[in-house]
Amino acid sequence: MQQFSVHRIGPEVKIAGVDISFTNASLFMLISASIICLFLFLGTKEKKMIPNKIQLIAELFYNFVAKMISDTAGSKAKPYFPFIFSLFMFVLFCNMVGMLPYSFTVTSHIIVTLILAIFIFIAVTIIGFIKHGFGYLKLFVPSGVPNLLLPLITIIEIISYLSRPVSLSVRLFANMMAGHTMLKVFGGFVISLGLLGGWLPLGFSVALTGLEILVAFLQAYVFAILTCIYLNDALNLHH
Amino acid sequence: MKRFFVIFLFTILSQSRLFAAEAGMPQLDPKYWASQAFWLVLIFAILYFAIANIFIPKIKNSLDDRNDKIKNDLDEAKNLQEISEEKLNEYNLTIEKAKKDVQKILFESKNKLKLDIQEKKDIFEKEIDKEVENTQKEINKLKQNSLNEIQNISKELASEIIIEISGDKLNESSIKAAIAETSKKELENYS
Protein backbone atom coordinates (compact mmCIF):
# COMPACT_ATOMS: atom_id res chain seq x y z
CA MET A 1 0.00 0.00 0.00
CA GLN A 2 3.03 2.21 0.18
CA GLN A 3 2.73 2.93 -3.52
CA PHE A 4 -0.52 4.79 -2.88
CA SER A 5 0.76 6.98 -0.09
CA VAL A 6 0.90 10.69 -0.68
CA HIS A 7 3.76 12.68 0.76
CA ARG A 8 4.77 16.26 0.56
CA ILE A 9 7.50 17.42 -1.77
CA GLY A 10 9.06 20.74 -0.87
CA PRO A 11 7.69 23.27 1.58
CA GLU A 12 4.33 23.13 3.24
CA VAL A 13 1.87 25.54 1.63
CA LYS A 14 -1.26 26.56 3.45
CA ILE A 15 -3.99 28.83 2.18
CA ALA A 16 -6.61 29.82 4.75
CA GLY A 17 -5.56 26.93 6.91
CA VAL A 18 -5.93 24.36 4.15
CA ASP A 19 -2.88 22.33 3.27
CA ILE A 20 -2.31 22.49 -0.48
CA SER A 21 1.34 21.49 -0.50
CA PHE A 22 2.91 20.12 -3.64
CA THR A 23 2.89 16.33 -3.26
CA ASN A 24 4.00 13.37 -5.30
CA ALA A 25 0.39 13.12 -6.55
CA SER A 26 0.62 16.67 -7.87
CA LEU A 27 3.99 15.85 -9.39
CA PHE A 28 2.61 12.92 -11.35
CA MET A 29 -0.42 14.93 -12.45
CA LEU A 30 2.04 17.49 -13.75
CA ILE A 31 4.14 14.80 -15.43
CA SER A 32 1.08 13.27 -17.14
CA ALA A 33 -0.14 16.67 -18.31
CA SER A 34 3.34 17.54 -19.54
CA ILE A 35 3.60 14.27 -21.47
CA ILE A 36 0.22 14.97 -23.07
CA CYS A 37 1.30 18.47 -24.03
CA LEU A 38 4.64 17.24 -25.37
CA PHE A 39 2.96 14.47 -27.33
CA LEU A 40 0.38 16.81 -28.82
CA PHE A 41 3.03 19.44 -29.49
CA LEU A 42 5.14 16.95 -31.43
CA GLY A 43 2.02 15.64 -33.11
CA THR A 44 1.01 19.07 -34.38
CA LYS A 45 4.44 20.59 -34.93
CA GLU A 46 4.64 19.82 -38.62
CA LYS A 47 1.41 20.00 -40.49
CA LYS A 48 2.00 17.49 -43.23
CA MET A 49 -0.38 16.27 -45.86
CA ILE A 50 1.04 12.80 -45.32
CA PRO A 51 1.46 12.59 -41.52
CA ASN A 52 4.50 11.20 -39.77
CA LYS A 53 4.08 8.64 -37.01
CA ILE A 54 3.49 10.92 -34.06
CA GLN A 55 1.15 13.17 -36.03
CA LEU A 56 -0.75 10.07 -37.13
CA ILE A 57 -1.14 8.93 -33.52
CA ALA A 58 -2.32 12.39 -32.39
CA GLU A 59 -4.85 12.44 -35.21
CA LEU A 60 -5.86 8.89 -34.34
CA PHE A 61 -6.66 9.99 -30.78
CA TYR A 62 -8.56 12.98 -32.11
CA ASN A 63 -10.63 10.87 -34.47
CA PHE A 64 -11.18 8.21 -31.82
CA VAL A 65 -12.63 10.70 -29.34
CA ALA A 66 -14.54 12.56 -32.07
CA LYS A 67 -16.15 9.32 -33.23
CA MET A 68 -16.93 8.30 -29.65
CA ILE A 69 -18.73 11.60 -29.03
CA SER A 70 -20.64 11.66 -32.29
CA ASP A 71 -21.69 8.01 -31.81
CA THR A 72 -22.97 8.43 -28.26
CA ALA A 73 -24.04 12.06 -27.93
CA GLY A 74 -24.62 13.17 -31.51
CA SER A 75 -23.64 16.40 -33.20
CA LYS A 76 -24.99 18.59 -30.39
CA ALA A 77 -22.10 17.52 -28.18
CA LYS A 78 -19.49 19.06 -30.48
CA PRO A 79 -18.81 22.12 -28.23
CA TYR A 80 -17.84 19.74 -25.41
CA PHE A 81 -15.33 17.88 -27.56
CA PRO A 82 -12.25 19.68 -26.12
CA PHE A 83 -13.32 18.86 -22.58
CA ILE A 84 -13.93 15.19 -23.28
CA PHE A 85 -10.72 14.96 -25.28
CA SER A 86 -8.76 16.49 -22.39
CA LEU A 87 -10.52 14.24 -19.91
CA PHE A 88 -9.79 11.12 -21.93
CA MET A 89 -6.16 12.07 -22.49
CA PHE A 90 -5.64 13.03 -18.84
CA VAL A 91 -7.14 9.85 -17.41
CA LEU A 92 -5.39 7.69 -20.00
CA PHE A 93 -1.97 9.21 -19.44
CA CYS A 94 -2.35 9.21 -15.66
CA ASN A 95 -3.22 5.50 -15.83
CA MET A 96 -0.37 4.76 -18.20
CA VAL A 97 2.20 6.75 -16.24
CA GLY A 98 1.02 4.85 -13.18
CA MET A 99 2.01 1.62 -14.87
CA LEU A 100 5.67 2.56 -14.72
CA PRO A 101 7.53 1.06 -11.75
CA TYR A 102 8.14 3.44 -8.81
CA SER A 103 5.63 5.88 -10.23
CA PHE A 104 2.43 7.09 -8.63
CA THR A 105 -1.01 6.45 -10.05
CA VAL A 106 -2.98 9.65 -9.77
CA THR A 107 -6.27 7.99 -10.70
CA SER A 108 -5.94 5.39 -7.94
CA HIS A 109 -7.04 8.05 -5.48
CA ILE A 110 -10.75 8.34 -4.86
CA ILE A 111 -10.54 12.06 -4.30
CA VAL A 112 -9.14 12.68 -7.78
CA THR A 113 -11.70 10.60 -9.60
CA LEU A 114 -14.48 11.89 -7.38
CA ILE A 115 -13.64 15.50 -8.19
CA LEU A 116 -13.62 14.75 -11.91
CA ALA A 117 -16.90 12.85 -11.61
CA ILE A 118 -18.60 15.49 -9.48
CA PHE A 119 -17.48 18.18 -11.90
CA ILE A 120 -18.94 16.18 -14.79
CA PHE A 121 -22.12 15.51 -12.83
CA ILE A 122 -22.68 19.15 -11.94
CA ALA A 123 -21.78 20.34 -15.43
CA VAL A 124 -24.12 17.84 -17.07
CA THR A 125 -26.94 18.77 -14.70
CA ILE A 126 -26.45 22.48 -15.39
CA ILE A 127 -26.32 21.86 -19.16
CA GLY A 128 -29.50 19.80 -18.89
CA PHE A 129 -31.35 22.54 -17.02
CA ILE A 130 -30.09 25.22 -19.42
CA LYS A 131 -31.13 23.25 -22.48
CA HIS A 132 -34.49 22.01 -21.26
CA GLY A 133 -35.40 24.15 -18.23
CA PHE A 134 -37.49 22.26 -15.73
CA GLY A 135 -38.35 19.85 -18.53
CA TYR A 136 -35.05 18.22 -17.68
CA LEU A 137 -36.81 16.69 -14.69
CA LYS A 138 -38.72 14.53 -17.17
CA LEU A 139 -35.52 12.48 -17.22
CA PHE A 140 -36.73 10.95 -13.95
CA VAL A 141 -40.20 10.15 -15.28
CA PRO A 142 -39.89 7.67 -18.10
CA SER A 143 -42.83 7.43 -20.45
CA GLY A 144 -44.78 4.24 -20.99
CA VAL A 145 -44.62 3.14 -17.36
CA PRO A 146 -47.82 2.02 -15.60
CA ASN A 147 -49.12 4.64 -13.16
CA LEU A 148 -48.84 2.24 -10.25
CA LEU A 149 -45.12 1.79 -10.78
CA LEU A 150 -44.38 5.38 -11.66
CA PRO A 151 -43.45 6.67 -8.14
CA LEU A 152 -41.15 3.71 -7.60
CA ILE A 153 -39.50 4.10 -10.99
CA THR A 154 -39.06 7.81 -10.42
CA ILE A 155 -37.37 7.22 -7.09
CA ILE A 156 -35.10 4.61 -8.67
CA GLU A 157 -34.27 6.97 -11.52
CA ILE A 158 -33.41 9.77 -9.09
CA ILE A 159 -31.21 7.47 -7.04
CA SER A 160 -29.48 6.18 -10.15
CA TYR A 161 -28.95 9.73 -11.37
CA LEU A 162 -27.49 10.83 -8.05
CA SER A 163 -25.26 7.79 -7.85
CA ARG A 164 -23.67 8.60 -11.20
CA PRO A 165 -20.69 10.51 -9.79
CA VAL A 166 -20.10 7.81 -7.22
CA SER A 167 -20.21 4.95 -9.73
CA LEU A 168 -18.14 6.90 -12.23
CA SER A 169 -15.42 7.75 -9.73
CA VAL A 170 -15.38 4.48 -7.83
CA ARG A 171 -15.17 2.47 -11.08
CA LEU A 172 -11.96 4.18 -12.14
CA PHE A 173 -10.46 4.38 -8.66
CA ALA A 174 -11.23 0.77 -7.75
CA ASN A 175 -9.98 -0.59 -11.05
CA MET A 176 -6.70 1.23 -10.80
CA MET A 177 -6.20 0.43 -7.15
CA ALA A 178 -7.14 -3.22 -7.46
CA GLY A 179 -4.84 -3.71 -10.45
CA HIS A 180 -1.88 -2.14 -8.72
CA THR A 181 -2.58 -3.99 -5.48
CA MET A 182 -2.76 -7.26 -7.36
CA LEU A 183 0.54 -6.54 -9.08
CA LYS A 184 2.04 -5.78 -5.68
CA VAL A 185 0.65 -9.00 -4.17
CA PHE A 186 2.13 -11.09 -6.95
CA GLY A 187 5.38 -9.18 -6.64
CA GLY A 188 5.38 -10.06 -2.93
CA PHE A 189 4.82 -13.72 -3.81
CA VAL A 190 7.83 -13.63 -6.11
CA ILE A 191 10.00 -12.45 -3.23
CA SER A 192 8.55 -14.76 -0.59
CA LEU A 193 8.66 -17.90 -2.78
CA GLY A 194 12.23 -17.16 -3.73
CA LEU A 195 14.27 -18.54 -6.57
CA LEU A 196 12.55 -21.93 -6.56
CA GLY A 197 8.86 -21.08 -6.55
CA GLY A 198 8.89 -17.46 -7.59
CA TRP A 199 8.71 -18.04 -11.30
CA LEU A 200 5.00 -18.79 -11.42
CA PRO A 201 3.91 -15.55 -9.71
CA LEU A 202 6.46 -13.72 -11.86
CA GLY A 203 4.71 -15.06 -14.97
CA PHE A 204 1.39 -13.99 -13.51
CA SER A 205 2.86 -10.61 -12.77
CA VAL A 206 3.96 -10.18 -16.37
CA ALA A 207 0.55 -11.27 -17.66
CA LEU A 208 -1.17 -8.96 -15.19
CA THR A 209 0.96 -6.05 -16.34
CA GLY A 210 -0.37 -6.62 -19.86
CA LEU A 211 -3.88 -6.81 -18.49
CA GLU A 212 -3.36 -3.65 -16.45
CA ILE A 213 -2.23 -1.73 -19.52
CA LEU A 214 -5.43 -2.86 -21.22
CA VAL A 215 -7.44 -1.86 -18.14
CA ALA A 216 -5.70 1.52 -18.04
CA PHE A 217 -6.84 2.22 -21.60
CA LEU A 218 -10.26 0.67 -21.10
CA GLN A 219 -11.02 2.64 -17.94
CA ALA A 220 -10.04 5.90 -19.59
CA TYR A 221 -12.31 4.97 -22.48
CA VAL A 222 -15.14 3.99 -20.15
CA PHE A 223 -14.75 7.21 -18.17
CA ALA A 224 -14.92 9.29 -21.33
CA ILE A 225 -17.76 7.35 -22.91
CA LEU A 226 -19.88 7.50 -19.74
CA THR A 227 -19.32 11.24 -19.71
CA CYS A 228 -20.58 11.28 -23.30
CA ILE A 229 -23.62 9.23 -22.33
CA TYR A 230 -24.48 11.56 -19.46
CA LEU A 231 -23.99 14.48 -21.80
CA ASN A 232 -26.29 12.80 -24.29
CA ASP A 233 -29.00 12.57 -21.62
CA ALA A 234 -28.62 16.27 -20.94
CA LEU A 235 -28.53 17.34 -24.61
CA ASN A 236 -31.08 15.00 -26.16
CA LEU A 237 -33.88 14.37 -23.71
CA HIS A 238 -35.52 11.19 -24.96
CA HIS A 239 -37.71 10.15 -22.07
CA MET B 1 -15.55 -7.81 34.06
CA LYS B 2 -15.03 -4.10 33.78
CA ARG B 3 -11.30 -4.57 33.59
CA PHE B 4 -11.64 -7.20 30.93
CA PHE B 5 -13.85 -4.87 28.88
CA VAL B 6 -11.31 -2.04 29.12
CA ILE B 7 -8.52 -4.34 27.97
CA PHE B 8 -10.66 -5.59 25.12
CA LEU B 9 -11.49 -2.06 23.98
CA PHE B 10 -7.89 -0.97 24.21
CA THR B 11 -6.75 -3.94 22.17
CA ILE B 12 -9.29 -3.21 19.44
CA LEU B 13 -8.38 0.48 19.32
CA SER B 14 -4.68 -0.19 19.19
CA GLN B 15 -5.20 -2.87 16.59
CA SER B 16 -7.24 -0.60 14.40
CA ARG B 17 -4.74 2.18 14.81
CA LEU B 18 -1.98 -0.21 13.83
CA PHE B 19 -4.00 -1.35 10.87
CA ALA B 20 -4.61 2.18 9.73
CA ALA B 21 -0.99 3.08 10.04
CA GLU B 22 0.51 0.11 8.29
CA ALA B 23 -1.93 -1.46 5.89
CA GLY B 24 -4.78 1.02 5.58
CA MET B 25 -5.71 2.71 2.36
CA PRO B 26 -3.85 6.00 2.04
CA GLN B 27 -6.62 7.03 -0.35
CA LEU B 28 -9.00 7.38 2.57
CA ASP B 29 -6.65 9.56 4.57
CA PRO B 30 -8.02 13.08 4.15
CA LYS B 31 -4.76 14.80 4.97
CA TYR B 32 -3.85 15.62 1.39
CA TRP B 33 -7.33 15.65 -0.17
CA ALA B 34 -7.40 19.40 -0.42
CA SER B 35 -3.96 19.46 -1.94
CA GLN B 36 -4.85 16.82 -4.50
CA ALA B 37 -8.09 18.57 -5.38
CA PHE B 38 -6.34 21.89 -5.75
CA TRP B 39 -3.56 20.57 -7.97
CA LEU B 40 -5.96 18.45 -9.99
CA VAL B 41 -8.19 21.42 -10.74
CA LEU B 42 -5.23 23.65 -11.54
CA ILE B 43 -3.39 21.19 -13.76
CA PHE B 44 -6.49 19.92 -15.49
CA ALA B 45 -7.66 23.48 -16.17
CA ILE B 46 -4.30 24.38 -17.71
CA LEU B 47 -4.30 21.17 -19.73
CA TYR B 48 -7.85 21.83 -20.89
CA PHE B 49 -7.05 25.35 -22.05
CA ALA B 50 -3.89 24.20 -23.79
CA ILE B 51 -5.72 21.42 -25.59
CA ALA B 52 -8.82 23.45 -26.42
CA ASN B 53 -6.99 26.55 -27.64
CA ILE B 54 -3.79 25.22 -29.17
CA PHE B 55 -3.78 21.56 -30.01
CA ILE B 56 -7.33 20.78 -31.10
CA PRO B 57 -7.53 23.65 -33.62
CA LYS B 58 -4.19 22.51 -35.05
CA ILE B 59 -5.24 18.89 -35.40
CA LYS B 60 -8.62 19.91 -36.76
CA ASN B 61 -6.97 22.22 -39.26
CA SER B 62 -4.64 19.51 -40.45
CA LEU B 63 -7.43 16.96 -40.73
CA ASP B 64 -9.69 19.41 -42.53
CA ASP B 65 -6.92 20.30 -44.95
CA ARG B 66 -6.34 16.66 -45.72
CA ASN B 67 -10.05 15.99 -46.17
CA ASP B 68 -10.36 19.03 -48.42
CA LYS B 69 -7.42 17.89 -50.50
CA ILE B 70 -8.82 14.39 -50.81
CA LYS B 71 -12.21 15.79 -51.73
CA ASN B 72 -10.73 18.19 -54.26
CA ASP B 73 -8.59 15.50 -55.79
CA LEU B 74 -11.57 13.19 -56.03
CA ASP B 75 -13.66 15.93 -57.63
CA GLU B 76 -10.89 16.65 -60.09
CA ALA B 77 -10.54 12.98 -60.90
CA LYS B 78 -14.28 12.77 -61.43
CA ASN B 79 -14.23 15.78 -63.71
CA LEU B 80 -11.34 14.40 -65.70
CA GLN B 81 -13.12 11.11 -66.00
CA GLU B 82 -16.24 12.85 -67.29
CA ILE B 83 -14.18 14.79 -69.80
CA SER B 84 -12.40 11.67 -70.96
CA GLU B 85 -15.71 9.88 -71.31
CA GLU B 86 -17.04 12.75 -73.38
CA LYS B 87 -13.96 12.64 -75.56
CA LEU B 88 -14.29 8.92 -75.95
CA ASN B 89 -17.91 9.32 -77.03
CA GLU B 90 -16.88 12.00 -79.46
CA TYR B 91 -14.17 9.79 -80.83
CA ASN B 92 -16.57 6.88 -81.20
CA LEU B 93 -19.07 9.10 -82.98
CA THR B 94 -16.37 10.35 -85.34
CA ILE B 95 -15.26 6.82 -86.11
CA GLU B 96 -18.82 5.73 -86.74
CA LYS B 97 -19.43 8.69 -88.99
CA ALA B 98 -16.23 8.02 -90.86
CA LYS B 99 -17.21 4.41 -91.31
CA LYS B 100 -20.59 5.45 -92.69
CA ASP B 101 -18.92 7.94 -94.98
CA VAL B 102 -16.55 5.32 -96.26
CA GLN B 103 -19.42 2.98 -96.96
CA LYS B 104 -21.33 5.71 -98.71
CA ILE B 105 -18.35 6.73 -100.81
CA LEU B 106 -17.66 3.12 -101.64
CA PHE B 107 -21.26 2.56 -102.64
CA GLU B 108 -21.40 5.73 -104.72
CA SER B 109 -18.18 5.09 -106.53
CA LYS B 110 -19.26 1.54 -107.21
CA ASN B 111 -22.52 2.76 -108.69
CA LYS B 112 -20.73 5.42 -110.67
CA LEU B 113 -18.26 2.93 -111.98
CA LYS B 114 -21.05 0.58 -112.92
CA LEU B 115 -22.90 3.35 -114.75
CA ASP B 116 -19.71 4.44 -116.45
CA ILE B 117 -18.95 0.92 -117.58
CA GLN B 118 -22.50 0.50 -118.78
CA GLU B 119 -22.34 3.76 -120.69
CA LYS B 120 -19.02 2.95 -122.27
CA LYS B 121 -20.29 -0.49 -123.12
CA ASP B 122 -23.38 0.97 -124.74
CA ILE B 123 -21.34 3.38 -126.80
CA PHE B 124 -19.01 0.65 -127.90
CA GLU B 125 -21.88 -1.60 -128.77
CA LYS B 126 -23.50 1.14 -130.80
CA GLU B 127 -20.27 1.84 -132.58
CA ILE B 128 -19.75 -1.81 -133.26
CA ASP B 129 -23.29 -2.09 -134.55
CA LYS B 130 -22.76 0.91 -136.78
CA GLU B 131 -19.51 -0.48 -138.07
CA VAL B 132 -21.10 -3.82 -138.69
CA GLU B 133 -23.92 -2.13 -140.50
CA ASN B 134 -21.55 -0.06 -142.59
CA THR B 135 -19.50 -3.06 -143.47
CA GLN B 136 -22.64 -4.93 -144.33
CA LYS B 137 -23.72 -2.09 -146.56
CA GLU B 138 -20.35 -1.98 -148.23
CA ILE B 139 -20.43 -5.68 -148.75
CA ASN B 140 -23.87 -5.40 -150.18
CA LYS B 141 -22.77 -2.55 -152.40
CA LEU B 142 -19.72 -4.45 -153.54
CA LYS B 143 -21.86 -7.45 -154.14
CA GLN B 144 -24.29 -5.42 -156.16
CA ASN B 145 -21.50 -3.77 -158.06
CA SER B 146 -19.78 -7.00 -158.81
CA LEU B 147 -23.11 -8.50 -159.91
CA ASN B 148 -23.75 -5.60 -162.17
CA GLU B 149 -20.31 -5.84 -163.58
CA ILE B 150 -20.68 -9.56 -164.12
CA GLN B 151 -23.97 -8.91 -165.79
CA ASN B 152 -22.48 -6.24 -167.99
CA ILE B 153 -19.49 -8.37 -168.87
CA SER B 154 -21.67 -11.36 -169.54
CA LYS B 155 -23.99 -9.20 -171.65
CA GLU B 156 -21.12 -7.90 -173.74
CA LEU B 157 -19.68 -11.33 -173.97
CA ALA B 158 -23.05 -12.79 -174.88
CA SER B 159 -23.65 -10.14 -177.54
CA GLU B 160 -20.19 -10.65 -179.00
CA ILE B 161 -20.60 -14.41 -178.94
CA ILE B 162 -23.96 -14.05 -180.66
CA ILE B 163 -22.45 -11.72 -183.26
CA GLU B 164 -19.61 -14.12 -183.80
CA ILE B 165 -21.92 -17.06 -184.19
CA SER B 166 -24.77 -15.59 -186.11
CA GLY B 167 -23.37 -12.40 -187.44
CA ASP B 168 -26.48 -10.80 -186.44
CA LYS B 169 -27.08 -8.21 -183.92
CA LEU B 170 -29.65 -9.22 -181.39
CA ASN B 171 -31.86 -6.96 -179.48
CA GLU B 172 -29.87 -5.75 -176.59
CA SER B 173 -32.73 -5.66 -174.17
CA SER B 174 -33.67 -9.28 -174.72
CA ILE B 175 -30.07 -10.32 -174.04
CA LYS B 176 -30.13 -8.32 -170.93
CA ALA B 177 -33.31 -9.96 -169.73
CA ALA B 178 -31.96 -13.41 -170.48
CA ILE B 179 -28.76 -12.72 -168.57
CA ALA B 180 -30.60 -11.26 -165.65
CA GLU B 181 -32.72 -14.33 -165.47
CA THR B 182 -29.73 -16.68 -165.68
CA SER B 183 -27.68 -14.74 -163.23
CA LYS B 184 -30.57 -14.64 -160.90
CA LYS B 185 -30.92 -18.38 -161.11
CA GLU B 186 -27.18 -18.88 -160.58
CA LEU B 187 -26.96 -16.38 -157.82
CA GLU B 188 -29.57 -18.14 -155.85
CA ASN B 189 -27.10 -20.96 -155.43
CA TYR B 190 -24.57 -18.61 -153.80
CA SER B 191 -26.65 -16.50 -151.68
Residues of B in contact with A82 (CB under 8 A): 48, 51-52, 56
Query: Is B43 an interface residue toward A (CB < 8 Å)?
Result: yes
pLDDT band at B46 (very low <50, low <70, confident <90, very high): very high
- Mean pLDDT, chain A, rounded, equals 86
Give exposure, A203-212, as e/b (b: 16+ Cβ within 10 Å): ebbeebeeeb
Of A30, A59, A116, the CB nearest to B62: A59
Give the distance, in angstroms, between the CA of residue A151 and the centroid of all CA atoms in the same chain. Answer: 33
pLDDT, tens only, A59-83: 889 999 999 998 888 888 888 899 9
pLDDT band at B22 (very low <50, low <70, confident <90, very high): very low
> Per the CB < 8 Å rule, is B59 touching A22?
no
User: Taking a C-beta distance cutoff of 8 angstroms, is the pair A62, B64 a contact?
Assistant: no
- Mean pLDDT, chain B, rounded, equals 83
Residues of B in contact with A35 (CB under 8 A): none
Query: Which residues numbered 158-187 in B keep a CB inside 8 Å of some CB on A?
Result: none
Residues of A in contact with B41 (CB under 8 A): 115
pLDDT band at A88 (very low <50, low <70, confident <90, very high): very high
pLDDT band at A91 (very low <50, low <70, confident <90, very high): very high
> Per the CB < 8 Å rule, is A19 touching B50?
no
d(C-alpha B188, C-alpha A167), whole Å:
148
